[in-house]
Amino acid sequence: MEIITDKVFANFDQSLKEFTSSGPLSRKEKATKLASQIDILSLTSNGMAYLYKQSAMLDKAGIFEETVWSEPDKLVPFLVKGTLKAGHPTSSFEILSELRILRYAQGEDVHDAISADEAQNFLEEAIVHNLEFALKEATEETRIKMTERELKKVFNLFSFIMSEVDLVGIYEKLVVEVQLICAQRPILTRKARELITLVKRRFDTSGNTENDQNMNVFIDALFQPSDGARVHSDKDAYRSFIEGSDESVLQSEAESMGRYMNATGLVSGYHAILLRKLVNEFPDLVPVCLDLNDRGIAEWEKFHKLVSNLILETVSFDNCQCIYGLARMLGRNLFSRTPVRSALGNLRKIRVNPQVEKRILKSLVNPDQDVTALQYLVGGTIKVLGQPLGVGQGNNPTCQSARGMSMWSQHSPAKLIDMIITVATQNNLIMRFENYDLVSNQLGKGLLDRMDYNLDVVSVVLVPHLDKIYNEMMKLATGRWDDPHRWVNLAMYGQWIQVGFASCYDYLSNSILDFRGFTRIFYASFHPSYNGDQKMAFPNPLGIFITNNNGVMLGFHAISLLRVDKSPTGEIRAYFLNPNNEGRQDWGQGIRPSVNGQGEKPGESSLPFYQFSARIYAFHYSSLDVKSWLDGVPEEEITKVEEIAKESWGKSYFWNQQIKLW
Amino acid sequence: MANCFALMGWSLPVIESMQKTGKPFVVVSFPDFEPYATENNIPFLPYPLDEWSDTSNSLDLFEKLKAFNADVAVPLYEETVEWAGALNSIYRGDARVLNRAFLFRNKAMMKRKALIGGLKVGLFEEVFNKEGVKAFMKRLNQANLQLDGEADSWVHIKPFASAGTVGHRLLRSMSDIDEKCEDSDFPCLAESHLSGREFSCEAFINKGKIRFLNITEYVKLGYSNFIPEGHYLESKRDLIHKQVQKMVDIFGIEYGMVHPEWFLTENDELNFGETACRIPGGHILELCSKAYEFDALAAFVLCHDPNITEEELDGIFPAKDFKPKNYHGNVMIYPRKRQFSKLEIPEDLNNEPYFVEHTLIAPYEGQKLSGDRDGFGNHFGTINFRGEDPDRMTELLKHYEEVDFYV
């Protein structure tokens, strides 16, 4: 199969001729036929090299006209994977697109819109996001989704790219990627673990550069978080090592593991073995092992019996990541709350509904055989309670549900546990919207078409129900005079949401109405310099415009504004939860949300306040309190925001300068 | 030469062919296409072709087409055959042109006309309900001298006015009638099963004479065909030519293209199946263009022109003694499973010397086939082949028609 006949090249040339000589009307059809030749050529290395030679010429001949690939400077490296997995002809076009970008990166051809550096950077990012292809280690999910032939094409593409580009940049990007992911302390650590494992196996990290050192912290956290684990890497060997160790050895093991856990947010299976041993025989070492702060230690001392039971019932080799959640939960003093203790007690005793059990097991990759779905669910609950900002939506269009879980975990943990219990036992959920009781099982489909199970256990349980209820609320509130979220947010998230609601989009005139007034309210409500230095008490569900790296409008997204504060450098920044967990974002116009280094708590994203302000279209506020602050917002500040907005997503709308009575 | 061709229906390939000829034309189709037409500078007249009323009729359309100076109407789809017929009746001052269009749209009338003219057709009858079909099958059984316990004679039912295989049902027994027929099928045409080898041809007619005859070899009806015809049909070319000209004469067809289906028996008898006068399906004219190296779509349009000169006609069609260098075939791929998630292209297709290209497209996630398919439904893509040996071509088309591309 490696050698392809001249006939294939001749066919390609023939289709190419037909394509270039076709009129504009049949171009698409001719392009599809040409794609079938690209498909075949991309199966072999000499075919790929041939395509590489032709790629820039094909680009100029207009093969990407009227397709998503038409403007190479607007392509998003993060999206490459999805297109490659979509099958022919989409994947064939994507392959050709990468090849032409490689030519631009190598300076073999020139494109007006993309420089060689930009092209190089695009390819490096594409490789970082497609390591499974670059390293020929497709994940289970990918193997199920793609045919062998498609996989072969894509493997072939990446080995071609890797043989042409310099890999140093990629290693650096990988280290940064791992750091960024872990800095956000996601509940679901699968992606971080996969990346770290891949780097460990495929790159030489033994050097002494800063990158090597940084990377090794993460590698050690997973594979050798202590001296004992370094020597006894086998699971059973480590267990017998622990059994035979004295207190001083256990102490140093506990310190080491606690430190790695706190530094990375990652927990290894060894940690689970050690912690169970300590709970049983050396309880005084538990706070060390969990690297607890003072509040956490006090909490442990007060509730050590309950917490010990919880650990012994829940923590296992595979179900180890919840140890970090537990440490954080102790630090949040959640056990001191009576409702939380009662609800947790209830959760430990439930019988999980078989449908829900199926969903839970489906979300696990390599579950311990003797650990039940309930144990995983309790572990998952601990994680959500310990890390409210680590909730993510995965590859699902369910930012609303993720935002809700995060909010309840922060402000109503017992209510969240109750909700988990209801759904886990009944596989059903009731919420109220105005005068209707919405029963999720009686509702039609939500936004979710087919759930991506790459999600944490609690999300897997709750999201299908929350999603349906949210969607039904939206349906009931649609057709009123304003954005349905004005009513839905209150019902969906609870009493923490302010009744006042501002949206710059006017439903009746289909335009952006009084954006200046809108921005003034936002500043007067949340900017500490103009609202009398008031802090936000509760998260605020916001709607934002998502833009690409050129500021072009892509769509809408739900996030939560958590707080507005001075950053370490004295800049006023908005700190928010972005449930899509995507750290490396570029929203264009120099607006790049950061996830660490600007005073963010783990899981927060942040932006300078004015930049943030230029991307929002709806928020809640206190319509009574805001009145006294409105006049104090400087006009030039509003103008600055307005200009950024108009230059980006604003181009997609008509702007109405009329003043609105807010 | 015509002042302006009115193309009845929207077809990008035809539009592009016409642009290449440089001849004036206007596309008449649904208003939905207007923005695209405007954007691409395509002369366009929006018209509700699915409506017949005081404001939507051929006289009105005739008036509107005056602005374009149109004087020939060309039907591109089965559904626009009457529209074109009505307009051409006016253009040519001959009311019977419209009646002839009706002939193509009523299969019972078509058969009757063929029978009167002396073509061999099966037994047929208009039926109005299941009982009618049963009575028809019973009479057919009697005529075939059926004995007790012998199988029933096969009966086909088809709607009077649908393209190709849409709504066509084969009934092999009395119980089939109960199981397969729906009340909504009626009224329709019932006919006896014609035996013989099925094929179609495309005869381009001008001034009542065949100017070019293409014969399409069906490997499997609705799935695969190739052009030119294989050795056996080629040896019957004269016979076929004569029979098609006879049909043209009987029907009184002067301009355009007919696309009849025939059944050739072992005794060299040609049974008439049915005929259409619009562009055939199955990418037949595309294959025909490639095999005979001319623009069959442009030729289709131009031979509707009563005023075209002999020289112009000769310029359009391949030379009389033209011999195609290769056989061009295609197979249309339909998913064979109800539920599928991937497009799987077999390895052996890559190195198949006859393989040219394909237009297959991967399914979207969780795609299913809807329960009811009309005719053969829409295929998911076509694979094109080219080669010198018609037998190898037949073998290939048969093989790939059986392959599961969608799994």
Query: 58-77 in B: which are within 8 Å (CB) of A?
Result: none
pLDDT top residue among B338 and B164? B338
Would you say residue B377 has pLDDT above 80?
A: no
B362/A450 CB distance under 8 A: no
CA distance A273 to B67: 88
- What is the structure's pLDDT at B375? 46
Would you say residue A3 has pLDDT above 80?
A: no
Query: 309-338 in A: which are within 8 Å (CB) of B?
Result: none
| Tens digit of each residue's pLDDT (9 = 90 or more) over A180-202 | 899 999 999 988 998 898 888 87
B40/A5 CB distance under 8 A: no
Q: A153 to chain B, minimum CA–CA distance in Å?
A: 12
Residues contacting residue A89 through CB under 8 Å, at least 6 positions apart:
A32, A35, A36, A39, B360, B361, B362
Q: pLDDT band for position A385 (50/70/90)?
A: very high
Q: Mutation target for B interface from A1, A36, A146, A148: give the one with most B CBs within 10 A.
A: A36
- What is the structure's pLDDT at A352? 96
To the question of domain B5-104 being in CATH 3.30.365.10, the answer is no
A4/B347 CB distance under 8 A: no
B13/A450 CB distance under 8 A: no
What is the pLDDT averaged over residues A455-476?
95
In the A/B pair of chains, how many CB contacts fall below 8 A?
79
- What is the structure's pLDDT at B367? 65
By Cβ distance, the residue of B19, B343, B344 closest to A23 is B19
A450/B366 CB distance under 8 A: yes
Average pLDDT, chain A: 92
Which residue of chain A comes nearest to B407, CA vs CA? A147
B362/A86 CB distance under 8 A: yes
Share of chain A above pLDDT 70, in %: 98
Q: pLDDT band for position A167 (50/70/90)?
A: confident
A89/B361 CB distance under 8 A: yes
Q: B362 to chain A, minimum CA–CA distance in Å?
A: 5
Would you say residue A116 has pLDDT above 60?
A: yes
- The backbone torsions φ and ψ at residue B292, rounded to the nearest 5 degrees and listed phi first, read -100, 5
What is the pLDDT averaged over residues B193-206?
92
Q: Which residues, listed in sequence order, are joined to residue A542 by a DSSP beta bridge?
A: A559
What is the pLDDT averaged over residues B265-290?
91
- What is the structure's pLDDT at B373? 44
| Tens digit of each residue's pLDDT (9 = 90 or more) over B277-286 | 889 888 999 9
Q: Is B184 on the interface with A (CB under 8 A)?
A: no
B359/A29 CB distance under 8 A: yes
B357/A11 CB distance under 8 A: yes
Would you say residue B118 has pLDDT above 70?
A: yes
User: Which residues in chain A are contacts of B40 at CB distance < 8 A?
Assistant: 24-25
- The backbone torsions φ and ψ at residue A70, rounded to the nearest 5 degrees and listed phi first, read -65, -35
- What is the structure's pLDDT at B372? 45
By Cβ distance, the residue of A26, A33, A90 closest to B12 is A26
Q: A108 to chain B, minimum CA–CA distance in Å?
A: 29
DSSP B268: S
- The backbone torsions φ and ψ at residue A606, rounded to the nearest 5 degrees and listed phi first, read -150, 155
By Cβ distance, the residue of B40, B345, B350 closest to A25 is B40
Equal CATH topology for B5-104 and B197-325: no
Which residue of chain B comes nearest to A13, CA vs CA? B356
- What is the structure's pLDDT at A202? 77
Would you say residue A460 has pLDDT above 90?
A: yes
Q: Mutation target for B interface from A18, A30, A88, A91: give the one with most B CBs within 10 A.
A: A88
Is the separation of the CB atoms in A213 and A173 below 8 Å? no
Q: Which residues, listed in sequence order, are joined to residue B171 by a DSSP beta bridge?
A: B155
Q: Read off the tokens for A52.
A: 């590489």
- What is the structure's pLDDT at A134? 86
Q: Indicate the domain borders of chain B.
A: 5-104, 124-192, 197-325, 328-402
CA distance A120 to A116: 6
By Cβ distance, the residue of A7, A14, A26 closest to B13 is A26
Which residue of chain A comes nearest to B386, CA vs CA? A11
Q: Is A444 on the interface with B (CB under 8 A)?
A: no
Query: 3-32 in A: which are within 8 Å (CB) of B?
Result: 4-5, 7-8, 11, 14-15, 22-26, 29, 32
| Tens digit of each residue's pLDDT (9 = 90 or more) over B221-246 | 878 999 999 999 999 999 999 999 99
What is the pLDDT averaged over residues A254-264?
97
Sheet holding B188-192, edge to edge: B124-127, B188-192, B155-158, B169-171
DSSP B124: E
Strand duo A511-513 + A655-656: pairing: parallel
User: Which residues in chain A are contacts of B353 at CB distance < 8 A?
Assistant: 5, 7
Q: A361 to chain B, minimum CA–CA distance in Å?
A: 22
ipTM value, please give it. 0.76
Q: B73 to chain A, minimum CA–CA distance in Å?
A: 22
- Residue carrying structure tokens 């932006």: A607
Query: 46-105 in A: which are within 8 Å (CB) of B?
Result: 86-91
Peptide bond connecting A24 to the previous residue in cis, omega within 30 degrees of 0: no
Q: Is A39 on the interface with B (CB under 8 A)?
A: yes
CATH number of B197-325: 3.30.470.20
Q: pLDDT band for position A396 (50/70/90)?
A: confident
Lowest pLDDT segment from A126-130, B164-168, B365-369: B365-369
Would you say residue B339 has pLDDT above 80?
A: no
Query: 330-389 in A: which are within 8 Å (CB) of B?
Result: none
A39/B345 CB distance under 8 A: yes
- What is the structure's pLDDT at B165? 67
Average pLDDT, chain B: 90
Q: pLDDT band for position A584 (50/70/90)?
A: low
User: Which residues in chain B are contacts of A37 at CB distance < 8 A?
Assistant: 357
By Cβ distance, the residue of A15, A36, A149 closest to B344 is A149
DSSP A620: E
A7/B353 CB distance under 8 A: yes
| Tens digit of each residue's pLDDT (9 = 90 or more) over A475-519 | 999 988 889 999 999 999 998 999 999 999 988 788 999 999 999
A86/B359 CB distance under 8 A: no
CA distance A364 to A357: 11
Residues contacting residue A130 through CB under 8 Å, at least 6 positions apart:
A80, A81, A84, A158
- What is the structure's pLDDT at A129? 87
Stretch (H or E) spanning A491 = helix A485-493
The three-state secondary structure class of B353 is coil
- What is the structure's pLDDT at B374? 46
- What is the structure's pLDDT at A103? 95
User: Which residues in chain B are contacts of A36 at CB distance < 8 A?
Assistant: 357-360
| Tens digit of each residue's pLDDT (9 = 90 or more) over A411-438 | 999 999 999 999 999 999 999 999 999 9
| Tens digit of each residue's pLDDT (9 = 90 or more) over A616-644 | 999 999 999 999 999 999 999 999 999 99
Q: pLDDT band for position B272 (50/70/90)?
A: very high
Would you say residue B48 has pLDDT above 60?
A: yes
Q: A16 to chain B, minimum CA–CA distance in Å?
A: 11
Q: How many residues does chain A have?
A: 662
Question: From the CB of residue A506, how many other CB atoms can be counted at a distance below 10 Å?
Answer: 19
Lowest pLDDT segment from A110-114, A415-419, A564-568: A110-114
Lowest pLDDT segment from A74-83, A247-256, A380-389, B81-90: A74-83
CA distances from A243 to A240, A271, A319 (A): 5, 14, 21
Q: pLDDT band for position B376 (50/70/90)?
A: very low
Q: Is B356 on the interface with A (CB under 8 A)?
A: yes
Does residue A66 come out as left (phi exceeding 0), alpha (psi in the -120 to 50 range) or beta? left
Q: Read off the tokens for B153.
A: 């004679």
B343/A87 CB distance under 8 A: yes
Q: Mutation target for A interface from B345, B357, B384, B405: give the one with most A CBs within 10 A.
A: B357
Q: Read off the tokens for A145.
A: 């989704």
User: Which residues in chain B are contacts of A25 at CB distance < 8 A?
Assistant: 12-13, 15-16, 19, 40
- For chain B, state the CA radius of gyration: 22
Which residue of chain A comes nearest to B364, CA vs CA? A86
Would you say residue A35 has pLDDT above 90?
A: yes
Q: Is A136 on the interface with B (CB under 8 A)?
A: no
- What is the structure's pLDDT at A466? 96
CA distances from A50 to A40, A47, A96 (A): 12, 5, 11
